[in-house]
Structure 1
């Protein structure tokens, strides 16, 4: 199958135009709405692009995914502004567009994360374990597989925390969850990754519910 990379795929399998999830929202004609949308996109685009890059594997494809998501968001901006947290609504759109791209290109799994990021996660898992740093780091693909095996929320917080270097409050805004819930997701993700890699559980995850 030849992929036309000039126009990003839309959720529902369409390229360009309106999508099956738009629900009839009109493109905002009011100049103030467009200015608000532009400022919103400028604030969040680095995170959107960074997350898309971890999933699709190239800057070019990530840019196309984000462009499609932004076009979709523009059509739905009035609705997005009625949401309690517009950033969370935009994040859901991004996830839809990433999924549509992967389906359209036949990619079954997200792209590999940078090895430096994988090493950072492993170091975090070993925090507070004197002498454990002498052990060899697991191969990147093994950790990548473990990250892919996490529940969706835990996967997202790992990517947002270690790939995009967001703090817990920022992650909470994107995921629409309290910061305490984000911290819980991180603890559980650390514990699950440690178990998958046969490493000692991090001290702050032991005894976590």
Structure 2
């Protein structure tokens, strides 16, 4: 019988902290919860087997995030398809709008056909921030931890992304639109 090495407690803490967020991100792009779970499992097992190397990285969380994104992109390429994000993102926005009864969310849904292409054209980090913050509903501090960046970086990318998307969609933003929710 093969004895597997015991994983360090730090790995399990990392797993507990990021598993759900990684799975939600993968599901958003793959459109399949089961496939997303399997993909995230593969990514986390890769990280576990290479834990010592990951811990030598300047920013382990950012390196792990990059691996997740590469793996999702690779899976989509392997399947020869585009991300399922327009459909899954719109569904999540509708659910959030109904739950939050927010007029602003309904305005976003009304422009949803143009929203995804506008978001998809954003620079990579701005795209990630909008997806994590507004589609998946993570807080600024959680988004920062997931991406391996500072909260100030998240706020900056969010500000720039919202301005670009609003301009492209012809939506006027309130003066306090960048206040944290």
**Alignment map for 1:32-181 (pairs within 5 Å):** 33=8, 35-112=9-86, 113-117=89-93, 137-181=109-153
Aligned CA-pair RMSD: 2.8
State the alpha-carbon separation in 2 of the partners of residues 43 and 80 from structure 1.
16
State the alpha-carbon separation in 2 of the partners of residues 175 and 43 from structure 1.
12
Partner of 1:183: 155
Please give the secondary structure, in 1, of the residue aligned with 2:57: coil
Q: Which has the higher helix share?
A: 2
Please give the secondary structure, in 1, of the residue aligned with 2:85: coil
Partner of 2:6: 31
What do residues 19-56 of structure 1 show as CA deviations (whole Å, max 9, x unaligned)? Answer: xxxxxxxxxx65252x4323321221000001111111
- Contact 2:93–2:109 (Cα < 8 Å) also in 1: no
Larger radius of gyration: 1
Paired residue total: 169
5+ residue gaps, structure 2, are none
**Structure 1 length as normaliser, TM-score?**
0.69
State the alpha-carbon separation in 2 of the partners of residues 159 and 199 from structure 1.
19
What do residues 62-96 of structure 1 show as CA deviations (whole Å, max 9, x unaligned)? Answer: 11211221122122211112234322221111011
**Structure 2 length as normaliser, TM-score?**
0.79
